[in-house]
Structure 1
């Protein structure tokens, strides 16, 4: 079942439960933090941007997870399979970061002695600015990147959690935005040229249960002169009403059913072998891909009852995707990522 939401309405009813469940291709639902009836420490809100080309990527995160805020910066070098992530944790934010209630309006702004981060709406563009002192071995990080040509359609989903009627996952993912700008560490600069650079937004608001494992994959680029991208994933609550699997071709969304991540195992160790080739398959046979990893942007945190084990693996997709009208998109060496994340939060 893939239930599509087509009517603008409040996300939550007076009991703090979802008014409707399913997916949309635009931001129709109105999120209001004051409508939430769950305990305040269960509220999770974040804005995550990734800007990438075939050589480099920059990831910027501002998250307010109630008892913990997070400001994170990553820069990735695909040619040398290297990355650096520096994160700053702020205790007991509980909404103090004031993340906007809509992805379409409002700015994200944070500044302290070490980091200054801004996600700004400017003249139908999104401008990402960040300065962080001592990002890597005494070297400072700076970036100023503009995202534009935002596609007509995006992935929007409202998903409940079966174990808690007041828990929900509300998310928008925007693929295939054109990117231009620069990022630098010390005196070394990386340029994002609009000819071959793309940005994505992962905008999340919700009330989460304590223990979760999710899978997410995304890619954006050009195929045969048209913008093409996809969002795939599961593990984000009860997806019986709809999955978040979607293709984007020339700005238009094409809905998929269920997509499965086949991550290789190291049988001797009993663990996932994230840097060996993956396989992706779909229940409707419209997304069949192999994935050759380049690097694993891994991170592990454990503080008391809070833990996070993240593996965001960047690499290249090869295979086919089929649009709603039957058109086959052949994908070759298409840069993207796929991740598995386990959280106790």
Structure 2
């Protein structure tokens, strides 16, 4: 409890902090920045959407595996909140308070549709209904949904305050600090701190979540919810370490995230491919170009088996940029041209721009 209290206090102290930027400097700066720009778009640290290429989509237990952000408007870990509905409400609440439950369900549907303003209005209505009937569990759950909504649309100060409130209410209600509801909110609070540039406290948050989750895994848990959240925690923490230029640690945690993702979803899965891309990007940053080629080649080969994976074009371009660094310009041209053709086919202007820059760089080098 003391560890969680310390983490919560550090969150409250950072509510007014402004974000800072940490830039990664390497010898081949132009190529690295281009590769990182692509990787950032298809990695889990996108500023406004929280994940630009990774998201959890709901499964039967209310949690998720990774999926593309632009394929769904549902906020990150909304599935988790839906899964917790039964934990916040008593079994007969839906019969006793049908208007409240209906309002909550409508709010969730509006969030899934991306109608955030209407969703917020509906949540405030649901909150008044819960307060009127003195349903404290309902109030807590609605605060959690409000926090998720604020998190989704980038209102991080609001989300931070709401998550802290929900955690305090749960702990006062006797919920243990290793409860999965507490861990998932701690994880999202750590992500908020990362977005705000408070890397030290963000790291404390990630470590706290991973410690609790690892304890469950070490005890031999078969709970897919715990393993899914653990995979995401490893992924997020790895990206924080990458932003802090701690590449060796980032690589270790990203490998763990990949291994767990493969264990949960198999190799031929979009998130497995994205994590391979991230492993390639970190390898490139560390100067391990052969490893970068291996990871990105595997990502390309596997990703091409997924018909609906639009971001495969960007991974081809990533591979092309690594080939440029290695001086293999013919291979680089093939990869970047493949990326350009795929992005044109899917009408992905951003990927087309990345491929065009890659091809222009190759042209300059060939004419020297």
Q: Same fold by TM-score, threshold 0.5 exceeded?
A: no
Q: Give the TM-score band, short-chain normalised.
A: under 0.3
TM-score by length of 2: 0.24
Higher Rg of the two aligned structures: 2
Answer 1 or 2: which has greater helix percent. Answer: 2
